[in-house]
Amino acid sequence: MKFELDNIDVVVSDLDGTLYDKRHIAARLIKRDIRHLHYLLSERLARKHLRGKSFGSADAFYSAYFEEMARGRMFTADDARRWYADTYMPTMVDIIRKHYTVQNWVPELIRECKERQVPIVVYSDYDFVSEKLQALHLDEKNFAFVVSAPSLGGLKPSKESAMAIINRLGAKAERTLFLGDRDDTDGGSARAVGAKCQLIKNTDK
């Protein structure tokens, strides 16, 4: 894997599907407990519905997200909230710990960025970012900071969420490189703020 780091001051990397190959992760989750399926489907739909919208705060985002998940379902927004925080995210972390490893190119990227004094931010569309990095045996000290889109008030490709990261580092968007596995979310975040983007395939070594 080769990264274009010339004229780049900041790297903003996605987590799931980028820092590790997340194939089969949903199947593994459902295999643990079939009851996940019901929530998982509504979670995916809610995510699609809220994608890119900014709610101004984490609280406002989460209210809209769990409301949307529960719309027309047999469970309430509070049930969805509990499932997400107490079951879904912790189970994902456990599955990552047991079945997944960081991509081969990640240590090399960290080394090269350190050499160039280019900070790396881990920017995920999901929470439990620190827990997932720990499960991948990736030291958080390698990164300037780690952050989730929900905590910034809006899912990728929210312009406000992406801009909040760039501003926090005092960087220029045109000198920021987004890394990710999805064009609609990661590429979309970069385009929303006028940053550069490099997409990574799950099979990239």
List the alpha helices (DSSP H) in the chain: 25-32, 36-50, 58-70, 77-82, 89-99, 105-116, 129-135, 159-168, 188-193
Q: What pairs with residue 146 in β-bridges?
A: 122
Task: Give the tokens for residue 123.
Answer: 């920017």
The answer to whether 14 contacts Mg ion (rule: CB under 5 A) is: yes
Q: Is the Cβ of residue 17 or residue 153 nearer to Mg ion in the bound state?
A: 17
Q: How far is the CB of 126 from Mg ion (least distance, A)?
A: 9
Q: How far is the CB of 34 from Mg ion (least distance, A)?
A: 25
Q: Is the Cβ of residue 17 or residue 188 nearer to Mg ion in the bound state?
A: 17
The answer to whether 21 contacts Mg ion (rule: CB under 5 A) is: no
The answer to whether 16 contacts Mg ion (rule: CB under 5 A) is: yes
Residue number with the shortest CB distance to Mg ion? Answer: 17
The answer to whether 181 contacts Mg ion (rule: CB under 5 A) is: yes
Q: Is the Cβ of residue 70 or residue 146 nearer to Mg ion in the bound state?
A: 146
Q: Is the Cβ of residue 14 or residue 68 nearer to Mg ion in the bound state?
A: 14
Q: Interacting stretch for Mg ion, rule CB under 5 A, among 14-22, 79-87, 129-137, 149-157?
A: 14-22
Q: Is the Cβ of residue 77 or residue 120 nearer to Mg ion in the bound state?
A: 120
User: Which among 185, 193, 203 has a CA at the least distance from the CA of 13?
Assistant: 185
Q: In terms of C-beta density within 10 A (0-12 exposed, 13-18 middle, 19 or more buried), how is residue 143 classed?
A: buried
Q: How far is the CB of 185 from Mg ion (least distance, A)?
A: 7
For residue 165, the tally of other CB atoms under 10 A from its CB is 23
Binders in 85-104 for Mg ion, by CB under 5 A: none
Report whether 119 contacts 10 (CB < 8 A).
yes
Instruction: Give the 3-state secondary structure of residue 20.
Output: strand
Q: How far is the CB of 18 from Mg ion (least distance, A)?
A: 5
CA–CA separation, 114 and 100 (whole Å): 25
Q: Is the Cβ of residue 17 or residue 150 nearer to Mg ion in the bound state?
A: 17
Q: Which residues lie near Mg ion (CB under 5 A)?
A: 14, 16-17, 181
